[in-house]
Structure 1
Amino acid sequence: MIKNLISHLRELQAYRAVLQQLVMQQLILRYRRTTLGFFWTLINPLAMMSVMALVFATLFKADLQTFTVFLFAGMIPWNFFSSVVTQSAHAFINNEGLIKKIYLPKIIFPLSIASAFLIDSVLSFLALFSIILIIGGSLSWAVLFIPIAYLMLFFFALGIGLITSVATVFFRDLQFVILIAMQGVFFLTPILYKHDALVGKVAWLVGLNPAVPFIELFRAPLYQASLPSPGVILQAALISLSAMAIGLFVFLRQEKIIVFRLWVEMSSIRVESLSIKFRIYHDRSPSLKSYFANLFRQQRQAAYSNFWAVKDVSFEVKAGDRVGIVGHNGAGKSTLLKALCRVYESSDGKISVDGRIAPLLEVGAGFHIEFTGRENIYLNGAILGYTKQQLQGIEPEVITFAELEEFIDTPVKYYSTGMYMRLAFSLATAMHPDILVLDEIFAGGDAAFMVKA
């Protein structure tokens, strides 16, 4: 294992330029095309924490200036840790296209996530220093310990991140479990309250939280103007090294399997003897008079006849396959695709789909013409099953890929067919769906976009 670890360190040195680019990519895409750009890295968390400080200082009847420093000193390291753990859960899944086609040290993906959030967090702390000075506070020499605190927190977060990144490759649902779990851990971490104010079983339960000593590493220099106690430093160091060791052990044991698990977890479609029957109604606008008159006729006219749009179709699409369905107009191509996307139920036979489908069956489906392009990203994204948090993360990427920067806040009723198509395709593919179903969608796109897509 030691030789394997040394080999990985050498590879990271050789691929350091790739690591730098991945880190910059995450930082740039997060706030690209916004007026303030990278400054949102500071404004977002500081604004949120300012509101929390005002609310909880009022609830706890605490001095606002003192409580602001207390809260910020706990929230900034927590935000870093929480972001690394939750985002690392997507590290390999979101980059499966690269992992399956190009060789890169796989550890580079969770490492780039941790590094990007480290930069965010350090900048937030620099802003906190400014806030402390502005509100009349002072900084002691103990703040020189913060880089050491960051080093220990970085290894702790990265170690846990390595575990979550590997685990979600095997169990995709874990990425949602981790989000819920981190919300629970937040309230078991003394961020809004002091640890020594707790008593009984609650104090014992919070004491089991491995994140607690790391909060103390940051809070002592800023809030108490002193170094953390030797016991806290030792405890944090042991937890940090243990988490990193366990994370590396899990990663190195499963590294060679990850690429195969990504293939296994990819989509597959199996269609067995599928038939779809439509009813063709003869009277398209029946009245009550004609309906009751038909009831008393000796020879009633059939209300409808059956039409088999798809008859006894069987095929299988394996992971990684690209399949095109060719046929003349009316052959049932679109009907078959809609059946795969569960728009139509099968009359006979069976459809088995293993994976998440992103359907693009008709340009503008799921869009509201009075909404802007940006508003439709959230509307259509919700229809596709994505959360608001996920959509906020991919919004800049969707807008850039669709080439709609200048028109994203324009109602889509003024969009051309090509603009509709680019926005729909960019949104459907931004979350890396398992299965992408297209029904002549590129009829509205130009040659350049088809090449890019």
Structure 2
Amino acid sequence: MTDSSLERARYASTNLSKDVFILRQLVSKDFKLKYRRSVLGVVWSVLNPLLMMIVMSIVFSYMFRHNIENYPLYLILGNITFSFMSDSTKQGLRSIIGASSLLKKIKVDRFVFPVQKVLFALVNLAFSFIAVLIVMLWFHVMPTWHFILLPICLFLLVLFCCGLAMILGAAAVFFRDVIHLWGVVITAWNYLTPVFWDYQMLIDNHAPWIVLMIVRLNPMYNYVQFMRDIVLWQTVPTAATIALCVIWAVVMLALGIIVFKKSEHKFILYI
């Protein structure tokens, strides 16, 4: 290896270490800010999905449960999975704008900011799984070896959200309307995803094939299905579900990197 190659490798390693350090500090700062002056603190990350599950179970159990076994567990798994995407992208949307003062003062890799918002949402998701375990114990659903597939599901979902957060973060710098529009998109996306209803309902009600196809190709449908397969149904997800999760993760991350790289040099002019 030549001296120049060694120098480039050393520089890349130094940059990576710096980015990891910044990510850790930013996640820690957001975590402290979120629970500052809160009596219950991180307990809210457990209570929120539990309370939401109870309310939604009461409201939807007679309308949408469609003979779903352990419906509250079905509900909470769909809710925390979709909420992770929703929270990480909503925060990622404002990540570059929110870091404007820092970006104007020091040189730092800009991708750190949307990625950090996704990682912070992942920390909250980890606490939400305590609520899932509580519900599992309540319904006597014991974890099986399928749980070892959980890191794969989360890894693919994190990649998908990182790509989406980078696209949204970059877009919001140039078009502030994206901030308002995304709330509408998230609401529509939530109803399009079987969080509180079952895909089988569409089939039983003879929904048009185009509707079935849209829902089936919906990225969040596949990530929610992956989560339910390994935790609730305790089975290995189908090859189609795994393939679509991988494809969406790779495609969205690639798009995010391309969009971000092509626009990041202009951020300073608009923030």
Do both share a fold (TM > 0.5)?
A: yes
Structure 1 residue 34: Cα displacement: 1.2
AA partner of residue 177 (structure 2): D
Structure 1 residue 185: Cα displacement: 0.7
Q: Distance in 2 between matches of 1:56 and 1:122?
A: 26
Partner of 2:155: 151
Partner of 2:3: none
Partner of 1:187: 191
- Within a 5 Å distance, the mapping from 1:122-161 to structure 2 comes to 122-161=126-165
Does residue 77 of structure 2 align to residue 68 of structure 1? no
Q: Identity, % of aligned pairs? A: 27
Partner of 2:247: 238
TM-score by length of 2: 0.89
Residue 85 of structure 1 contacts residue 164 of structure 1 at CA under 8 Å; is this kept in 2?
A: yes
Structure 1 residue 72: Cα displacement: 1.3
Structure 1 residue 252: Cα displacement: 1.0
Q: Distance in 2 between matches of 1:257 and 1:7?
A: 24
AA partner of residue 268 (structure 2): V
Residue 64 of structure 2 contacts residue 197 of structure 2 at CA under 8 Å; is this kept in 1?
A: no
AA partner of residue 194 (structure 2): P
Of the two structures, which has the highest relative contact order with CA contacts closer than 8 Å and spacing of 6 or more? 2
Q: Distance in 2 between matches of 1:58 and 1:243?
A: 37
What is the aligned counterpart of 1:16 among 15, 20, 34?
20
Residue 140 of structure 1 contacts residue 226 of structure 1 at CA under 8 Å; is this kept in 2?
A: no
Structure 1 residue 51: Cα displacement: 1.2
Q: Distance in 2 between matches of 1:35 and 1:108?
A: 31
Cα-Cα RMSD? 2.1
- Within a 5 Å distance, the mapping from 1:421-436 to structure 2 comes to none
Does residue 173 of structure 2 align to residue 169 of structure 1? yes
Partner of 2:221: 212
Change in 2 beyond 3 A, CA 1:61/1:78: closer
- Within a 5 Å distance, the mapping from 1:54-453 to structure 2 comes to 54-60=58-64, 66-198=70-202, 199-200=207-208, 201-262=210-271
**Which structure shows the higher strand fraction?**
1
**Which structure shows the higher helix fraction?**
2
Q: Tell me the number of residue pairs that the alignment of Structure 1 and Structure 2 aligns.
A: 258
Q: Distance in 1 between matches of 2:150 and 2:248?
A: 17
- Within a 5 Å distance, the mapping from 1:36-55 to structure 2 comes to 36-55=40-59
Residue 64 of structure 2 contacts residue 196 of structure 2 at CA under 8 Å; is this kept in 1?
A: no
Partner of 1:272: none
Unaligned segments of structure 2, at least 5 residues = 1-7
Residue 12 of structure 1 contacts residue 105 of structure 1 at CA under 8 Å; is this kept in 2?
A: no
Partner of 2:4: none
Residue 216 of structure 2 contacts residue 222 of structure 2 at CA under 8 Å; is this kept in 1?
A: no
Unaligned segments of structure 1, at least 5 residues = 263-453
TM-score by length of 1: 0.54
SS at match of 1:224: coil
Q: Which has the larger radius of gyration?
A: 1
